[in-house]
């Protein structure tokens, strides 16, 4: 099994879409193994988006992600990284397919509701950045045999 880091961004919290977004992942069969609600510090935001430091939109990205609380969580399941990325849809919601989170609920490339790790390396790095090991719970559900 694989773990991936996911976050409902400030626009998702503001719009009351945390439950809707979590529900989609739960119904797909992914397991929530960690979660927290927090206001992101500038330092954490800059570390999280370090790969974009040189991009022209970096400053906007950091101020957006620190502009309000986020819901950060870790999902576990077979191929979780790829499955979550596909459920999120393309980065620019205007290109995202209907049926994806961005394709159903967003229009702005900045306010695109969710983040999900884009590779094994990012997932490992981001999970370690956002959660302490003891905040991640290892368990199996009875229903996992049916998914």
| b/e 4-39 (16+ beta carbons within 10 angstroms → b) | bbbbbbbbbbeeebbeebbebbeeeebbebbbeeee
For the annotated binding site, the residues are 9, 57, 85, 91, 102, 112
The stretch near Mg ion (CB under 5 A) out of 14-22, 56-64, 73-81, 112-120 is 112-120
Distance between the two ends of the chain, CA-based, in angstroms? 13
Residue from 115, 117, 127, 130 carrying the catalytic annotation: 115
Residue 32 as a binder of ligand GTP (CB under 6 A): the answer is no
Q: Which is nearer to Mg ion, 43 or 51 (CB)?
A: 51
Judged by beta carbon distances under 5 to 8 A according to partner kind, the member of Mg ion, ligand GTP, none in contact with residue 61 is ligand GTP
Query: Is the alpha carbon torsion for 5, 118, 7, 61 positive or negative?
Result: positive
List binders of ligand GTP among 40-59 (CB under 6 A).
Answer: 52, 57
The stretch near Mg ion (CB under 5 A) out of 1-9, 25-33, 62-70, 116-124 is 116-124
In the set 23, 41, 63, 91, which binds ligand GTP (CB under 6 A)? 91
Residue 116 as a binder of ligand GTP (CB under 6 A): the answer is yes
- x-or-dash string of contact with ligand GTP, 4-23, rule CB under 6 A: --------------------
Give the span between the Cα atoms of 102 and 29, in whole angstroms.
20
Q: Give the CA distances from residue 112 to residues 10, 64, 68, 84, 93, in Å, rounded to whole numbers and listed in that order.
A: 10, 11, 14, 14, 6
Q: Is 139 exposed, middle or buried (0-12, 13-18, 19+ CB in 10 A)?
A: exposed
- 115 is annotated as an active-site residue: yes
Footprint on this chain of Mg ion (rule: CB under 5 A): 118
Active site residues: 115
């Amino acid at each position: 099994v694989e773990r991936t880091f996911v976050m409902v961004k400030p626009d998702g919290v503001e719009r009351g879409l945390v439950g809707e977004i979590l529900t989609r992942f739960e119904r797909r069969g992914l397991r929530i193994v960690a979660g927290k609600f927090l206001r992101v510090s500038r330092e954490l935001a800059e570390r999280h988006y370090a790969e974009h430091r040189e991009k022209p939109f970096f400053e906007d990205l950091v101020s957006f992600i620190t502009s309000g609380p986020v819901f950060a969580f870790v999902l576990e399941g077979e191929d979780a990284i790829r499955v979550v990325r596909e459920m999120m849809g393309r980065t620019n919601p205007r290109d995202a397919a209907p049926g994806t989170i961005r394709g159903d609920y967003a229009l702005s490339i900045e306010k695109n509701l969710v983040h999900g790790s884009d590779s094994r390396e990012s997932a490992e790095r981001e999970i370690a950045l956002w959660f302490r090991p003891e905040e991640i719970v290892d368990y199996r559900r009875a229903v996992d045999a049916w998914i």
